[in-house]
Structure 1
Amino acid sequence: MSDATPEVAEAGRTMHIGELAERTGLSLRTIRHYDDVGILPATARTEGGFRVYSEEDLERLMVIRRMKPLGFTLEEMTDLLSVLDALQQETDQGAVDELRARVATFRDTAVQRRDKMVETLARADEFIDVLTRY
């Protein structure tokens, strides 16, 4: 992408929002919303004002996409993303341990929410079985 800033181009492959949407299965509107609320700011903008995203942004968006079906709020997503960002930069072992404990809390919450979804799905299957009898 020749219209991306040189710093972004040198940092690695970039993509416009359409490619990011295609690769994640999310709508342009959703990605723009995540940018607007600050959990997925574009890495850069072209001279024409188009959003430019990196592979790291794609990975971040995939975390967000995976949290959404489990009912995590934007605030919770923001919190987890800040923890994950800090883990990538932190060198103090005590701080790393604290951050990992926070990730474990998110994991426990995700497991609980998934278990509830499994239970709900089982009930839906039971209902479908009832309807199949007719």
Structure 2
Amino acid sequence: MLIGEFADRTGLSQRTVRHYDEIKVLQASGRSECGYRFYAPADLDRARVIRAMRALSLSTTEIRDDLAILDRVESASSAPTPADRRELAAILADAECREHALRERIGLASDFVEMLRAL
């Protein structure tokens, strides 16, 4: 699929998709002779992972680093090494901490919305 359809299907803007391609976080699966980016169904999955990471307020550097670890572990032909397991555990612990903070903010926002509805 071309970048427009890919952007629509992922909820990302075309500008964001281009930026992610430039910084090598979400690279196009291929390019046409004219330079148009082509995306495959597997790229949709990666975009969803990146969106989830952004929802937890990870920076692009953190996303790039975490994706590198995830890619390494997923592409390995054997079980994760002890070092990989430690890195995955650190990613999980950070994600859980960020999720908890996000849930607290959602609770505060919900309280505010309920207060407004009561007026």
SS, match of residue 48 in structure 2: helix
Residues 39-98 of structure 1 show CA distances to partners (whole Å, capped at 9, x for unaligned) of 112121101110011222222111111100111011111111111111122245463x32
Q: What RMSD over aligned residues (CA atoms) do the two structures have, in Å?
A: 1.7
- Which of 92, 95, 110 is the matching residue for 1:110? 95
**By how many angstroms is 1:111 displaced?**
1.2
- Which of 85, 89, 107 is the matching residue for 2:71? 85
**By how many angstroms is 1:117 displaced?**
1.2
Q: Which runs of 5+ in 2 are unaligned?
A: none
The answer as to 2:18 corresponding to 1:32 is yes
- Which of 90, 112, 116 is the matching residue for 1:127? 112
SS, match of residue 39 in structure 2: strand
Paired position in structure 2 for 1:48: 34
Alignment: residue pair count: 119
Q: Distance in 2 between matches of 1:80 and 1:132?
A: 41
Larger radius of gyration: 1
Q: Distance in 1 between matches of 2:63 and 2:118?
A: 43
- Which of 50, 55, 66 is the matching residue for 1:69? 55
SS, match of residue 40 in structure 1: coil
- TM-score with structure 1 setting the length: 0.79
- TM-score with structure 2 setting the length: 0.88
